Amino acid sequence: MGVGKTAVGKVLAKMTGMNYVDIDEIIVDRAGKTIPKIFEEEGELVFREIERAVTHEIAGLDGQIIACGGGTVLDDENLASLRRASKMVLLNAEPEIILERVEKDEDKRPLLMADDKLGRIQSLLKARESGYMRAADIVVSTSKKTPEQVAEEILEQLGRYV
C-alpha cells in the first residue's frame, strides 16, 4: 500500500515487454464495485475469497508482472500459487512516505480508515512484516526513488535468478 507497485509494475512491464496485471483491478472488474464497497457490503472474508480465486487464476499465466494487494501474499494458498512460477519482489517504503502517497486517495483504502493514519500504517507494516519477508525473494525500497530507478534495481537483483 503506497509503495508504488502500480507505477513500478507498469515501468517494469514496459522495460521487459511483459504484461502488467493488478489483482485488485481484476477484483474490482469482476465484482463490479470498488474494494471499499466490497469490504463494506460483503466483508473482508468475501474480498479475500475473491482475491484467492483471482490470484490462483493469474498466477499460472506466463510473462506477467503481477501487482498484489497488501494482504495477498499473507494467505498461504495465494503465496503457493504465486511461488510456482514467479519471483516475488517486496517493495517497501518508510511509513511517512507511504502516508504522503496515500493521503490523496484514502477513501479507496478501507484498511486506512483511522484517525491516526500514520499509526495505522506503522501497525499494518509491523503486523505484516514477517509474512512479507517470508514471501520475498528480493526486497527493494521505493523511498525517495523514481519508479524507473526502482525498476532498474529490481531487474539488476533479479539477474541473480536468471
| H-helix segments, the chain | 5-16, 23-31, 35-42, 44-59, 76-83, 95-102, 117-135, 147-158
The contacts of residue 91 (CB under 8 Å, 6+ apart) are 3, 4, 5, 8, 140, 141, 142, 150
Q: In the chain, what are the domain boundaries? A: 5-157
CATH fold for domain 5-157: Rossmann fold (3.40.50)
pLDDT band at 112 (very low <50, low <70, confident <90, very high): low
pTM of the model: 0.85
- What is d(CA 110, CA 126) in angstroms, rounded to the nearest whole number? 18
The answer to whether the CB of 111 falls within 8 A of the CB of 55 is no
How high is the pLDDT of residue 2?
A: 87
pLDDT tens for 53-106 read 999 999 988 889 999 988 899 999 999 999 988 999 999 999 999 998 888 765
- What is d(CA 33, CA 71) in angstroms, rounded to the nearest whole number? 19
